Amino acid sequence: MSPFSIEQDPRPSISQSDFGELVRSFNEITSQLERTHDTLRAEVAELKHELAEANERLRRSRSLAALGEMAAGIAHEIRNPLGAMALNLGVLREDLESMPDSLVLCDRLAGSVQGLDAIVGDVLSFARDTRVSTRCCEPLELINAALEANAPLVDRVGVRVEVDVRPGLSADVDPGPVTQALTNVVRNACEALETVPDRAPVLSIVVDRGLVRTTTDAGRVEHLRFLIRDNGPGIPDELKERIFNPFFTTRETGTGLGLAIVHRIVDAHGGTLTIEDATPGTAICLSFPTAADPVPSEHEASLAEAVRDRIQNHEPRRSTP
């Protein structure tokens, strides 16, 4: 804003110094207002961003749930005949005991049936009705179970694993599904690390607490967060939107259901799954609501209310003359 200027006026004049004082005060108040305006602008931008993210997560969760229902129906229809195929193959094998060439064919068939059954199993664990029964768990135990499940892969890739659980934290989760979710994320990280031969592979898992916006119609709530970070190649920006889609994969083997399953498990807990900034590498954050001493939300429901709240509680500092 331009400095205050005033034309000469015949009415009672103010002294030069008073006038100078007035202009200074005016300019100070103006710049104070500008700063406040900027702060509010930044606040609004941040809230908008958070709300957009929460909306996007919600949209994703809904479409995953719908897909899950459809996939469950198909998977059951497939699993039954697969069971019959495996049974009949067993019988056929007995008949062909003396014919090694035919047995090779049988084994091939059996291998295919097993492969299909594994895919169907993945589909079902993605589609399964995800009601959870939570109990108080040690975060470190969940992590260790996930690392244990990936032990051969971790060893093969030679990953250095760093685990940091902030003291005094417990997780109110269903340990089975959450261990599976962590296992999937750790496996993804290790497989990504395998593709980067030129740096020492590091996997870091941090457990802490933080405020997370879970829905669009409530404030931030405190969550327990598992931040799993690798120094692998990272996820290209153009793929970030698609990696949560079921059956999306960049690998030659794999069903592309790993992260979709993680998403469903996190959703079932009322938690969130996000990709965080990490360079180099990838950071995936799983958050779960904490049952104990929930922190009252910091912000009001809607963007408008959040802004109103911000304005009402904003106390501009008095400008000093």
Partner 1 sequence: MSRILVVDDKEMMRDSVATLLGRRGHGVVAASGGEQALEKLGARRPDVVVTDLQMPGMNGLELLAAIQEVDDGIPVIFMTAY
* Residues within the interface to partner 1 (CB under 8 A): 76, 79-84, 87-88, 90-91, 94, 124
Q: Provide the minimum distance between the beta carbon of 166 and partner 1 in the complex, in angstroms, as a whole number.
A: 39
171-173/135-137 β-pairing: antiparallel
Kindly report the number of other CB atoms within 10 A of residue 294's CB atom. Answer: 11
Burial of 190 (0-12, 13-18, 19+ CB in 10 A): buried
Residue 94: CB minimum distance to partner 1, A? 7
Is the CB of 73 or the CB of 158 nearer to partner 1?
A: 73
Identify whether the C-beta of residue 54 lies closer than 8 Å to the C-beta of residue 213.
yes
Q: Which residues contact 108 (CB under 8 A, 6 or more apart)?
A: none
Residue whose token pair is 């768990």: 137
In angstroms, what is the minimal distance from the CB of 223 to partner 1?
Answer: 32
Rounded to the nearest whole angstrom, what is the least distance from the CB of residue 168 to partner 1 in the complex? 40
Of 82 and 186, CB closest to partner 1: 82
| 72 vs 165, beta carbon nearer partner 1 | 72
Could you give the 3-state DSSP secondary structure of residue 276? strand
Nearer to partner 1, 85 or 196 (CB): 85
> Minimum CB separation from partner 1 for residue 314, in Å?
57
Q: Give the separation between CA 172 and CA 152, rounded to whole angstroms.
A: 29
Helix extents (H) in the chain:
16-95, 100-127, 139-149, 151-157, 175-194, 237-240, 258-268, 303-312
Find the shortest distance in angstroms from Cβ 113 to partner 1: 13
Q: With respect to partner 1, which residue has the nearer C-beta, 84 or 118?
A: 84
Nearest to 67 by CA among 292, 247, 297: 247
d(CA 301, CA 206): 30
Closer of 120 and 192 to partner 1 (Cβ): 120
What angle separates helix 16-95 from helix 100-127, to the nearest 10 degrees?
150
Query: Smallest gap, in angstroms, from Cβ of residue 65 to partner 1?
Result: 19
Nearer to partner 1, 129 or 315 (CB): 129
Nearest to 181 by CA among 69, 290, 259: 259
Minimum distance of partner 1 from residue 121's CB (angstroms): 11
**Residue nearer to partner 1 on the CB measure, 86 or 278:** 86
